[in-house]
Amino acid sequence: MLIQFIFHQPLSLLYFTAPLSLFFEVLLKIFLKNHSRCHTKKMIQLTATPVSALVDEPVHIQATGLTPFQMVSFQASLEDESGNMFYSQAHYRANEFGEVDLKHAASLGGDYMGVHPMGLFWSLKPEKLLTRLLKKDVMNKPFQVQLKLYDLELIVNNKAASAPKASLTLERWYVAPGVTRIQVREGRLRGALFLPPGEGRFPGVIDLFGGLGGLLEFRASLLASRGFASLALAYFNYEDLPAKPEITDLEYFEEAANFLLRHPKVFGPGVGVVSVCQGVQIGLSMAVNLKQVTATVLINGTNFPFGIPQVYRGKIYQPFPYSAQLISTSALGLLELYRIYETTEVGASQYLFPVEEAQGHFLFIVGEGDKIINSKAHAEQAIGQLRRHGKNNWTLLSYPGAGHLIEPPYSPLCCASMTRDLKLHWGGEVIPHAAAQEHSWKEIQRFLRKHLIPDMTSPL
């Protein structure tokens, strides 16, 4: 090989006056340098920063060491606490340097297209249809997301069983270091209180979910990670709470507000409420009836009670009657309930909450693609009431393409799931829903800080 190399050199190198040994020494150095350059192969690397983070934090994903313009596929997978698998994939072309940076590169195919740095997370889909991703144990174990990088050509040629070019595991936590969880069993109250690290004091928030019942803690734990003393409050189908209550007793929620305000680490004089779906009717009623509630976030809900009556100190709010004939079914056989409450009919106003009596502030968040509740219409009706009474204590965030289950950022869209043996269509389109979750989460925090912390201007 060395002899071949010599005879392929420029003729000028063969005419020399130096000693022969020196010539061969120089020639050998040139050969070794070129040989090393020709045979050195870059190692393919897949990196993510940070590897361990809260679920509402973005991750910077990059691949390096590829051949220029190579087509590759990024694949993500996650196993939930029940063993259900969720998957996503996106296909990219490396740049001229053999690199793919998801912060700048556009996906050309897969589960989404375009520049979406966190697309592999919010496009995760269940292997088993009608499965919703829900974190139960928020304190002790994160979700682990497996990232793998494949040569796209191998996948196209049905060689997906081949080993990935690179892989890594990410940790996605629902609680920050130093956050404490306190189980609440005080009187008839049932829930979990999450406190941020430090001496405090902190703005207090009551977190209410909807028709699933039980106790969901993932939003309260994240709020505590962002500086809020957050009470995840159960109100049916949990421990000794009734599985199917006949009424909603608002005094229970008043007890929760007072419990939070008595805590030495909580700011006064008011608390906030974050509510979604069925929880919205309770959050709205709390804002109307309880002076302790000064900031209320209402995500995709109604401006009236439904299902069962609400009772508070002798007052009874009767549930709005629904029209069963207006239940519809999607092309995939999923139930859609968003038309069953006709609030514009004669006599409907008697069921609506008197929102004009509330002294605090409202943040209405609605997904215009909600297929369970006509949340935009209900929010606009409540805002109309406020306007007619000269009130401007409200903000409306309305998101085209977002569905019913608007959750913290980078959560996968759940457009349908099995709930109480019903196949429900929650609605939403993947990309606009993801954008709504990211934007609304920041706005929720800004709103709560503004109205719960004295003389506080939120940095968000």
**Predicted confidence (pLDDT) at residue 455 exceeds the cutoff of 90:** no
Q: Can you give the pLDDT at residue 22?
A: 52
Query: For residues 175 and 419, which has the higher predicted lDDT (pLDDT)?
Result: 175
Q: Predicted confidence band at 13 (pLDDT cuts at 50, 70, 90)?
A: very low
Amino acid identity, position 384: G
**Which pLDDT belongs to residue 213?**
94
pLDDT above 90: percentage of residues in the chain: 84
Q: How far apart are CA 243 and CA 221, in angstroms?
A: 24
Q: What is the pLDDT of residue 293?
A: 98
Give the pLDDT of residue 426. 98
Q: What is the pLDDT of residue 172?
A: 98
Residue 277: active-site member: yes
Is 3's pLDDT higher than 50? Answer: no
Give yes or no for residue 458 having a pLDDT over 50.
no
CB proximity list for 12: less than 8 A, separation 6 or greater: none
Model pLDDT, residue 159: 58
161 — pLDDT class (breaks 50, 70, 90): low
Q: Which residues pair with 273 in a beta bridge?
A: 206, 296
Q: Which of the residue ranges 243-257, 340-354, 396-410, 429-443 would you say has the lowest mean pLDDT?
A: 340-354
Q: Across all residues in the chain, what is the average pLDDT? A: 91
pLDDT of 158 reads 67
Phi, psi (degrees; rounded to nearest 5) at 283: -60, -40
More confident of the two residues 23 and 339: 339
Is 415 an active-site residue? no
pLDDT score of 2 more than 60: no
pLDDT band at 153 (very low <50, low <70, confident <90, very high): confident
pLDDT of residue 155: 73
Q: What is the pLDDT of residue 144?
A: 98
**Residue 4's pLDDT band (cuts 50, 70, 90):** very low
Pairing of strands 166-173, 109-110: unpaired
At residue 342, the pLDDT reads: 84
Rg of the chain in Å (alpha carbons): 29
The stretch 134-160 carries a mean pLDDT of 89
pLDDT number for residue 343:
81
Considering 111, 277, 378, 425, which one is annotated as catalytic? 277
Give the mean pLDDT of 402-428: 97
The mean-pLDDT minimum among 55-64, 77-86, 92-101, 335-344 falls in 335-344
- Model confidence band, residue 345 (pLDDT cutoffs 50, 70, 90): confident
Note the pLDDT tens digit of each residue in 270-281. Answer: 999 999 999 999
Residue 183 has pLDDT above 90, yes or no: yes
Catalytic residue among 207, 263, 370, 425: 370
Q: Give the separation between CA 404 and CA 407, rounded to whole angstroms.
A: 9
- Indicate whether 37 pLDDT > 90: no
Calculate mean pLDDT across residues 230-234.
98
Separation of alpha carbons 105 and 118, rounded Å: 12
pLDDT given for residue 456 in this prediction: 56
Which range, of 16-20, 103-107, 260-264, 436-440, averages the lowest pLDDT? 16-20
Confidence of residue 344 (pLDDT cuts 50, 70, 90): confident
pLDDT at 93 over 80: yes
Tell me, what's the pLDDT at 255? Answer: 98
Q: Please state which of the ranges 19-28, 44-53, 142-151, 422-431 shows the lowest mean pLDDT.
A: 19-28
Query: What is the mean pLDDT of the segment spanning 143-161?
Result: 83
404, 425, 433, 451: the active-site residue: 404
Q: What is the pLDDT of residues 24-35, one digit of tens each?
A: 554 445 444 444
pLDDT above 80 for 308: yes
* Catalytic annotation present for 263: no
Residue 333 has pLDDT above 80, yes or no: yes
Q: What is the pLDDT, as a whole number, of residue 454?
A: 78
